[in-house]
């Protein structure tokens, strides 16, 4: 019981501290300031909805992924390059949406989809896009391209789509 109180107090103290550091850093770095795992996301374009009318989808080919994988395969790089080449310097914002096949549990699929979107985002940044112009969202296994339950459908559904904010 005493330990629980201590633990909660510690969490409360740390939260108070992190509240301050968030205000200082608009880039939402980790509280320790480490960039160990990726390029921090910039402020969202509020109101831009990947599934809405203010985002143009389907203009660029989706990046496909291997089973349980979130790395951008060499044969997918040209798709990323096409987007980066068209948008870098334009000031336009692209939303990368990550999707999975149905063979995973729901919440794990959401994190895997986000990891795919973030991997494509890193590739876009590496090809010259500004970090602040690339947003991400994960839909997990929702909205499959092909609702069938077979290898061909699953391969199509493991993807990251590009949506250009109008």
Partner 1 sequence: MFPLRRILTLLAACLLGASLQAADAPTITVRKSDALNIAFTGIGGSEGALASKVVQNDLTLAGWFALVQSGMASFTVSGTFAGGVLQGKVVKGSEIVLSKNYTGSPRMASHQFVDDIVQTLTGHKGIATSTIAFVGNRSGRKEIYLADYDGSNGRQLTHDNGLSVSPALSPNGHRLAYTGYQAGYADIYLIDLATGARLRLVKFPGTNSGARFSPDGNLLACSVSKDGNPELYLVSLSGGARRLTHTRGAESSPAWSPNAAELIYSCDETGAPQLYKISSTGGSGRLVPTGFGYCTEPSWSPDGQRLAFNVRSGGGFSVAVMDLNGGGARIVAQGENPVWGADSRHVVYSTGSTISLLDVPTGKSIPVISGLGKVTEPTWTR
User: Closest distance between partner 1 and the C-beta of residue 80, in Å?
Assistant: 16
Contact between 110 and 166 (Cβ < 8 Å): no
| Nearer residue to partner 1 within complex by CB, 7 or 73 | 7
Give min distance, CB of 42 to partner 1, in A: 7
Which residues are 64's β-sheet partners?
159
Angle at 88 between CA 86 and CA 91, to 5 degrees: 110
**Rounded to 5°, angle at Cα 71 from 70 and 77:** 130
Query: Using CB under 8 A, which of 62, 93, 133, 138 touches partner 1?
Result: 138
Q: What is the DSSP letter of 46?
A: T
Confirm or reject binding of residue 146 to partner 1 (CB under 8 A).
no
* Binding residue count for partner 1, defined by CB under 8 A: 63
Q: Are 138 and 83 in contact (CB under 8 A)?
A: no
Q: Note the residues at the interface with partner 1 (CB under 8 A).
A: 3-4, 7-8, 10-12, 14-19, 22, 28-32, 34-44, 46-52, 55, 68, 70, 103-108, 110-115, 117-118, 121-122, 135-140, 142
């Amino acid at each position: 019981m005493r330990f629980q109180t201590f633990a909660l107090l510690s969490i409360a103290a740390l939260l108070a501290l992190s509240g301050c550091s968030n205000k200082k850093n608009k880039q939402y770095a980790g509280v320790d300031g480490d960039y160990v795992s990726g390029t921090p996301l910039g402020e969202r374009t509020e109101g831009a909805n990947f599934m809405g009318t203010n985002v143009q989808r389907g203009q660029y080919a989706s990046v496909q992924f291997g089973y349980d994988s979130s790395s951008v395969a060499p044969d997918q790089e040209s798709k990323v390059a096409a987007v980066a080449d068209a948008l870098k310097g334009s000031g336009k914002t692209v939303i990368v949406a990550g999707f999975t096949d149905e063979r995973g549990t729901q919440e794990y699929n959401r994190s895997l989809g986000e990891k795919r979107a973030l991997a494509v985002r890193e590739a876009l940044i590496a090809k010259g896009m500004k970090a602040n112009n690339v947003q991400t969202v994960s839909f997990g296994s929702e909205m499959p391209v092909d609702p069938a339950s077979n290898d061909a459908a699953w391969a199509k559904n493991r993807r990251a789509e590009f949506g250009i904010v109008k």
